[in-house]
Amino acid sequence: MNRQVAIILMIVAISATGYAQTSLRDSINITDHEIKLHPDSVQLYLVKASLYLKVYDWEEATKTCTDALYKDNKCLDALYYRAYANNNLRRYTLAKNDYETLIRLAPRNKEARLGLIYTLTCLKKHNDALDQANILIELFPDSSEAFAARAGVEEDMNAFELALYDLDQAIRLSPTESEYIIAKAEILIHLNRKQEAKTLLQAALKRGIPQESLLAIMARCR
């Protein structure tokens, strides 16, 4: 094992011990030192960018990814990290550009398409978001995330019945995923179909889904 690989593994191990800000900042400092020794290492830039994402330093994450892309303009991880950071900075057009570049390079990248769907929805480009969601479902017909993503677009368009249908598909594929159950319950409550929402949540509780994620919304079904 060469020194650079050993350093990367050590940084990853330190950051994995917990999300304490001090440990992560220490890891960033170590990575900075290693980058000075190995300025052409794209992997070190990616490690540094991922650490900035963990401490929610979106601006520094984008800068670090740009440095990585200067070394390798087809680096998929750098494109994804930068898009994710720009979304958190509400720079949706910049995020869209990176997701689209990533997808051109890797058309079957599920995470990139999910990110692009979210970004297009934030930009209120609903038809484009639906097109991407439909492509994602064609590529991954057994993906609950794909159906949930399309439901999110439909909900934003006030197409609630379509959103409920897609959430049903997501729940069918991932029956213990509380996020999808809560999303469906939220729509039912919005439509004043509170008894249906209550029945859905009670059934989820019986299946062993953790109570803390469901009880708060159940209180709104009265």
Residue-averaged pLDDT of the chain: 90
Tokens 């997701």: give the residue: 99
Q: Residue 19's pLDDT is what?
A: 53
CA–CA gap between residue 56 and residue 194 (Å, rounded): 37
Residues 114-133 pLDDT 10s: 999 999 999 999 999 999 99
Q: What is the pTM of this model?
A: 0.87
Tokens 């209180």: give the residue: 219
Residue 16: which pLDDT band, with cuts at 50, 70 and 90? low
